[in-house]
């Protein structure tokens, strides 16, 4: 009889080995899938995992990995802090949308002014918007004991409908021939979030993601609040005796992850997306939850997990282009990768032993 024994500390060896094993397992299972579908498994897997990094057009796709991964990393870093403390914000998608809307609102109100303060003000407004949307479940939990999981999820739906309302109503581009969607912020220099160094693809969102990873690492490993968060997650009762106020932590974690998600939304809407439409939410808030877990809730892990997911998106596009692989096949492949990564994580947290007692 097999038995699982929890590890007191995550195994360093398995932390590195499991993602490698999971990717290898995905290549095997995915290769089988590709072969069944009638595609050459070796070239399919090479196209997805290798070509974006070292293939013929890697000069373009390598920086694009950063662009695609940046919002995921930004959101997941914030979420992981709360997850460590046992505070479950699963509504980052809503906070992302609201941040995009409040940030864009500043730009649209300022249009066509060209002052220097506009973009920084948008970033602050985006972060505040996301923060406020995250504070709703925090306060409802603190005041009434309502589950933050469920309230934050419900607020995603509300945010999606606010975005549609904005795109068709108050934020509709007056010069857009009656079509839905706001002005395109890419064409409004004071408000746009452009590429900072030509050829790198990197915009302010990438910079923010890198800074966030460092800051969260510092918070969690060096700062007293990080200690409180970890204590609250592993031994809530002991943490309370140590003077950790649960209500403060709830507000801190939901506020922080909301603000980061809101910022991510603003960077995307002022950069790659360009405008508020009814489809401004593209699921980054949900994907980031997966990224947070794939990254073992650790900032560096999240950085790598975000890049890995971005790799499968961009590699998937290449596979469509060069091998005519249907988009659905790529989606199934991604689903498999997630299943394997989540499943293999068991080995980092538990030891497998034989059952000794009857």
Which of the residues 276 through 305 are near another protein (CB under 8 A)? 277, 279-280, 282, 286-287, 289-290, 292-294
Question: Is the CB of 58 or the CB of 304 nearer to another protein?
Answer: 58
Minimum Å distance from CB 288 to another protein? 10
CB 231 within 8 A of CB 239: yes
Q: Which of 74, 102, 78, 73 is nearest to 90 (CA)?
A: 78
Q: Give yes or no for residue 60 binding another protein (CB under 8 A).
A: yes
Distance, in Å, from the CA atom of 103 to the CA atom of 254, rounded to the nearest integer, reads 19
Question: Is the CB of 61 or the CB of 77 nearer to another protein?
Answer: 61
Residues 37-56 within binding reach of another protein (CB under 8 A): 37, 56
Residues 63-82 within binding reach of another protein (CB under 8 A): 64, 67-68
Residues 204-263 within binding reach of another protein (CB under 8 A): none
SS3 (DSSP) at 63: helix
Residues 123-182 within binding reach of another protein (CB under 8 A): 140, 143-147, 149-151, 153-155, 157-158, 161-162, 164-165, 168-169, 177-181
β-partners of residue 353 are 3
Distance, in Å, from the CA atom of 12 to the CA atom of 193, rounded to the nearest integer, reads 39
Q: Which residue has the tokens 């941040």?
A: 99
Question: Is the CB of 157 or the CB of 218 nearer to another protein?
Answer: 157
CA separation, residue 90 to residues 62, 206, 305 (Å): 30, 23, 18
Minimum Å distance from CB 224 to another protein? 27
6, containing H or E segment: strand 2-6
Question: Is the CB of 108 or the CB of 345 nearer to another protein?
Answer: 345
Helix then strand then coil, in percent of the chain rounded to 5, is 70, 5, 25
Binder among 114, 343, 352, 353 for another protein (CB under 8 A): 343
Question: Is the CB of 164 or the CB of 190 nearer to another protein?
Answer: 164
């Amino acid at each position: 009889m097999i038995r699982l024994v929890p590890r007191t500390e995550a195994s360093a060896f398995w932390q590195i080995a499991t993602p490698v094993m999971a990717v290898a397992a995905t290549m095997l299972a995915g290769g089988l899938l590709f072969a069944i579908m009638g595609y050459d498994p070796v070239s399919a897997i090479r196209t997805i995992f290798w070509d974006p990094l070292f293939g013929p057009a890697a000069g373009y796709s390598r920086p694009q990995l950063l662009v695609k991964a940046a919002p995921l990393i930004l959101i997941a870093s914030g979420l992981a802090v709360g997850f460590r403390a046992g505070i479950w914000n699963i509504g980052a998608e809503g906070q992302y949308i609201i941040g995009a809307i409040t940030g864009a609102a500043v730009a649209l109100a300022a249009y066509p002014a060209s002052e220097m303060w506009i973009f920084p003000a948008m970033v602050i407004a985006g972060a505040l918007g996301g923060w406020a949307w995250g504070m709703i479940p925090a306060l409802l939990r603190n005041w009434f004991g309502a589950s933050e999981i469920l309230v934050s999820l419900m607020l995603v739906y509300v945010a999606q409908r606010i975005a549609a309302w904005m795109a068709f109503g108050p934020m509709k581009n007056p010069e857009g021939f009656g079509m839905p969607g706001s002005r395109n912020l890419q064409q409004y220099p004071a408000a746009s979030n452009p590429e900072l160094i030509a050829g790198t693809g990197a915009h302010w969102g990438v910079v923010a993601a890198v800074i966030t990873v460092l800051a969260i690492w510092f918070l969690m490993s060096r700062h007293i609040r990080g200690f409180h968060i970890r204590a609250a997650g592993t031994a809530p009762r002991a943490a309370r005796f140590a003077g950790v106020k649960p209500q403060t932590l709830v507000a801190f974690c939901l506020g922080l992850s909301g603000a980061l998600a809101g910022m991510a939304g603003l960077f995307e809407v002022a950069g790659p997306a360009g405008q508020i439409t009814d489809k401004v939410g593209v699921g980054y808030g949900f994907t980031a939850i997966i990224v947070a877990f794939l990254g073992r809730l650790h900032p560096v892990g999240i950085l790598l997990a975000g890049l890995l997911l971005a790799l499968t998106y961009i590699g998937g596009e290449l596979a469509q282009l060069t091998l005519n692989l249907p988009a659905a096949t790529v989606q199934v492949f991604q689903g498999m990768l997630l299943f394997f990564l989540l499943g293999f994580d068991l080995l980092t947290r538990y030891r497998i032993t034989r059952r000794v007692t009857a």
